[in-house]
Amino acid sequence: MRSSFVRVTALTAAAAILAAACGGTGSAPSPAPATGQPTPAATKPQFELASYQYSIQTKGKLRVGTREDNVPFGLKNPATSKFEGFDVDIVREFAIAIFGNEAKADPDKFIEYVPVVSATRIPTLKDNKADVIAATFTINDERLKEIDFSTVYFRTGQKVMVKKDNATIKSVADLKDKTVCTAKGSTSEKNIAAKNKDAKLLLLDSYAPCLIALQQGQADAISTDETILFGLVKQDPNTKIVGDYFSDEPYGIGVNKGRTVFVPFLNKVIADMIASGRWAEIYKKHITPVSGDLKDGPHDKGRSN
């Protein structure tokens, strides 16, 4: 308790410093209308003309690359056709920061969702089909050669998942000659190959099809970030997560290189979300139902089983 208090205070201070440093690129909050008074005309945040957030505001939509089948981060709900999940609620905060009060009631009016899978995240940015990628996107040196990232807004690590009755696979070390399903173009693919060169990889576009492969016996295990595995276990309680973390997966928002004013702007929105408790609310809404824990920021990977 004590350490999280100190952390929150430090984050609040950091957010205040960032807010001062970013002066002129954000907006002052509009005063709440007094009861019975007419609502003032919607005010838009003011940005430097050369900033990327200004060009997004002018175009009227934030184009977001996110996942359609990656519970609890990005899902296109088949019943409503609306996107939902942790990543989706994070980008809605960016939309509110760019478009102001008008976006608060329904941020999706100001967002164009561009479905991505692991392997299409960098090409979607580079082909200028999205302004940001919010899709369980691990920040690493290899990717930083091609694109930029925001600060870390979520942190997890890789684990292994098997059927509940599997008594032989207890960790990544037991995957010799076993078929392990993961997504092509992911860090999960690289981490498995590095940790157990004798594992046989079944590479699919995303993790939901890996669950079907596990259920149908085409794969002995699935391996990716633990929080994504939590989402799969929730969908199929006849599965379990085994072993310890064998990687660190700090998620950032992917952005094309050269957006030197935009990235600090996104970082400030992330710092503000953490300091205000909004991040903790989004965590509680999307991650807690699958992880069972509560968090107030992306400090560590999570719980270890």
Binding ligand GLU by CB under 6 A: which of 188, 196, 267, 291? Answer: 188
φ and ψ at residue 303, rounded to 5 degrees: -90, 150
Helix (H, G, I), strand (E, B) or coil at 276: helix
Q: Are the C-beta atoms of residues 198 and 181 closer than 8 Å to each other?
A: no
- For position 186 contacting ligand GLU by CB under 6 A, the verdict is yes
Binding ligand GLU by CB under 6 A: which of 25, 138, 223, 291? Answer: 138
Binding ligand GLU by CB under 6 A: which of 25, 51, 57, 118? Answer: 118
Shortest spacing between CB 135 and ligand GLU, in angstroms: 6
φ and ψ at residue 226, rounded to 5 degrees: -55, -40
Window contacting ligand GLU (CB under 6 A); options: 129-137, 146-154, 268-276, 293-301: 129-137
- For position 150 contacting ligand GLU by CB under 6 A, the verdict is no
If the CB atoms of residues 150 and 186 are measured against ligand GLU, the closer one turns out to be 186
Instruction: Give the footprint of ligand GLU on residues 237-276 (CB under 6 A).
Output: 249
Shortest spacing between CB 301 and ligand GLU, in angstroms: 12
Window contacting ligand GLU (CB under 6 A); options: 56-64, 130-138, 165-173, 233-241: 130-138
Q: Are the C-beta atoms of residues 237 and 159 closer than 8 Å to each other?
A: no
- For position 227 contacting ligand GLU by CB under 6 A, the verdict is no
If the CB atoms of residues 90 and 135 are measured against ligand GLU, the closer one turns out to be 135
Shortest spacing between CB 40 and ligand GLU, in angstroms: 42
Window contacting ligand GLU (CB under 6 A); options: 21-29, 35-43, 134-142, 236-244: 134-142
If the CB atoms of residues 51 and 138 are measured against ligand GLU, the closer one turns out to be 138
Shortest spacing between CB 186 and ligand GLU, in angstroms: 3
Binding ligand GLU by CB under 6 A: which of 224, 239, 267, 291? Answer: 224
- For position 148 contacting ligand GLU by CB under 6 A, the verdict is no
- CB neighbours of 167 closer than 8 A, spacing ≥ 6? none
Q: Is 247 exposed, middle or buried (0-12, 13-18, 19+ CB in 10 A)?
A: buried
DSSP 138: B
Sign of the alpha-carbon dihedral angle for 49, 132, 137, 280: positive
φ and ψ at residue 161, rounded to 5 degrees: -130, 140
- CB neighbours of 27 closer than 8 A, spacing ≥ 6? 43, 44, 45, 46, 100
Shortest spacing between CB 111 and ligand GLU, in angstroms: 20
Shortest spacing between CB 69 and ligand GLU, in angstroms: 11
Cα separations (Å) of 37 from 8, 32, 33, 34? 36, 10, 6, 5
φ and ψ at residue 292, rounded to 5 degrees: 80, 0
Name the pairing type of β-strands 221-225 and 179-183.
parallel
CA of residue 71 relative to chain centroid, distance: 11
Tokens of 172: 């990544």
- For position 124 contacting ligand GLU by CB under 6 A, the verdict is no
Q: Are the C-beta atoms of residues 71 and 290 closer than 8 Å to each other?
A: yes
- For position 160 contacting ligand GLU by CB under 6 A, the verdict is no
If the CB atoms of residues 74 and 107 are measured against ligand GLU, the closer one turns out to be 74
| Interaction site with ligand GLU (CB under 6 A) | 118, 135-138, 183, 186-188, 224-225, 249
